[in-house]
Structure 1
Amino acid sequence: MATQTQTTDKGVGLAMVLGALTVLGAVGMILGAMELAGFTETLGAYAFGAAMVFASIAVVGLHVWE
């Protein structure tokens, strides 16, 4: 007797969204390091922290919704 399974791509979608946010955080970090566009080094540090958090959650999302 066959059973049906249902799969989802939530993990991939979540990783893509969080990956995009990670890239934005990395851009903010670069702008802060160069002090461009009104970004200070403090804002660059916050952007780096945000990029690390988003990247970590993206990896966890991939593993949770396999």
Structure 2
Amino acid sequence: MATQTSQTDMGIGVAMVFAMLTLVGAAVMLAGPGQLTKAWGFAGAMVAASLAIVAVHVYAD
């Protein structure tokens, strides 16, 4: 009995997109004009980093 398997790099690609969003959030956190903007940048960076890790685990074989 043969099983068909396929490998994909979807997890790596999605993780890279979320990593870029993490960098954008970190930049907003560092260069934001006000305290509230910096807080939203930090929150965005944390959410994007978490989703990058989730993407790797979801699409892993």
After superposing on structure 2, the runs of 4+ consecutive aligned residues of structure 1 that deviate more than 4 Å are none
Q: Between Structure 1 and Structure 2, how many residues are aligned?
A: 60
Task: Give ranges in structure 2 of 5+ residues lacking alignment.
Answer: none
Larger-Rg structure: 1
Q: Say whether residues 1:25 and 2:25 are aligned partners.
A: yes
CA shift, 1:2, in A, is: 4.3
TM-score, L = length of structure 2:
0.89
CA shift, 1:40, in A, is: 1.1
Q: Say whether residues 1:7 and 2:7 are aligned partners.
A: yes
RMSD (Å), alpha carbons? 1.1
TM-score, L = length of structure 1:
0.83
